[in-house]
Chain A
Amino acid sequence: EADIYQTPRYLVIGTGKKITLECSQTMGHDKMYWYQQDPGMELHLIHYSYGVNSTEKGDLSSESTVSRIRTEHFPLTLESARPSHTSQYLCASSKDRGYNEQFFGPGTRLTVL
């Protein structure tokens, strides 16, 4: 059973605000990922981490930033939210890259007005 948590589940916020989306996992996984998904579309990787103090940008360009100070915690920050950031953000983790399945959190639905 996957134990990966995201907060908030839903967020409606005005343009220009700074926001942080939280993601935590209790499985001790080294690898963590952030995906972005628009309705009816595929998930796109925007950030990933192989471990503490390791962060990399994914295939889809994003104005968000991430940090990995603790193994279990992988927050995503938007310094100044814009309507174009409206989307669903999904956090995932895996024991290893590639050949192990990634476990997903429930997602954060972000709406920027």
Chain B
Amino acid sequence: DQQVKQNSPSLSVQEGRISILNCDYTNSMFDYFLWYKKYPAEGPTFLISISSIKDKNEDGRFTVFLNKSAKHLSLHIVPSQPGDSAVYFCAAIPNSGYALNFGKGTSLLVTP
């Protein structure tokens, strides 16, 4: 039973615009959330994280928003660049856990 869901398999955005990637979760025990970026033939690379005690975390062009009541988080990339084209995975972990629970990923394409 999938506990982390990324319902958009793909997203296309023009360079310079905002990219918004969404993620929903079902397990209320999750209290730490991470975004990973993955290029083909490479392993996932950590991008940004957020704890459940926060509703926003920002790092340069990347901002993650967490809405606990809706069990929803989103990753905003502003401005989007062609090098951002990759698959983005949302992951979550409960406070007593050891394993990251991943979504299926969203493939982002940033066009010039």
> Taking beta carbons and an 8 Å cutoff, which residues of A are in contact with B?
2, 4, 6, 9, 31, 33, 40-45, 48, 58-59, 90, 92, 97-99, 101-107, 109
Segment at the interface with A among B14-22, B66-74, B76-84, B102-110:
B102-110
With a cutoff of 8 Å between Cβ atoms, the chain A residues found around residue B45 in the complex are 2, 104
Number of interchain pairs (Cβ within 8 Å): 61
A23 to B45 CA separation, bound complex (whole angstroms):
17
> Taking beta carbons and an 8 Å cutoff, which residues of B are in contact with A?
2, 4, 9, 32, 34, 36, 41-46, 49, 51, 89, 93, 95-105
With a cutoff of 8 Å between Cβ atoms, the chain A residues found around residue B89 in the complex are 42-43
Given A98-B95, A99-B32, A104-B44, 13 more contacts at CB 8 Å?
A: A6-B43, A9-B41, A42-B2, A43-B44, A43-B102, A48-B98, A97-B97, A98-B32, A98-B96, A98-B97, A98-B98, A99-B51, A107-B41
With a cutoff of 8 Å between Cβ atoms, the chain A residues found around residue B49 in the complex are 101
Tell me whether A102 and B46 are in contact in the complex, defined as CB-CB below 8 angstroms, given that A42-B2, A43-B89 are known contacts. yes
In the complex, the chain A residue whose C-beta lies closest to that of B96 is: A98
A42 & B98 in contact (Cβ 8 Å cutoff): no
Q: Which of A33, A41, A90, A104 is close to B99, meaning CB atoms less than 8 Å apart? A: A33
A50 to B100 CA separation, bound complex (whole angstroms):
15
List 28 A–B pairs whose Cβ atoms lie within 8 Å, in order of A's numbering.
Answer: A31-B98, A41-B104, A42-B4, A42-B102, A42-B103, A42-B104, A42-B105, A43-B89, A43-B100, A44-B102, A48-B98, A90-B44, A97-B97, A98-B32, A98-B98, A99-B32, A99-B51, A99-B93, A101-B34, A102-B46, A102-B100, A104-B43, A105-B43, A106-B41, A106-B42, A107-B41, A107-B42, A109-B41
Which are the 5 A-B pairs with shortest beta-carbon distances?
A104-B43, A42-B102, A101-B46, A45-B99, A43-B102
B98 & A97 in contact (Cβ 8 Å cutoff): yes
A90 & B43 in contact (Cβ 8 Å cutoff): yes
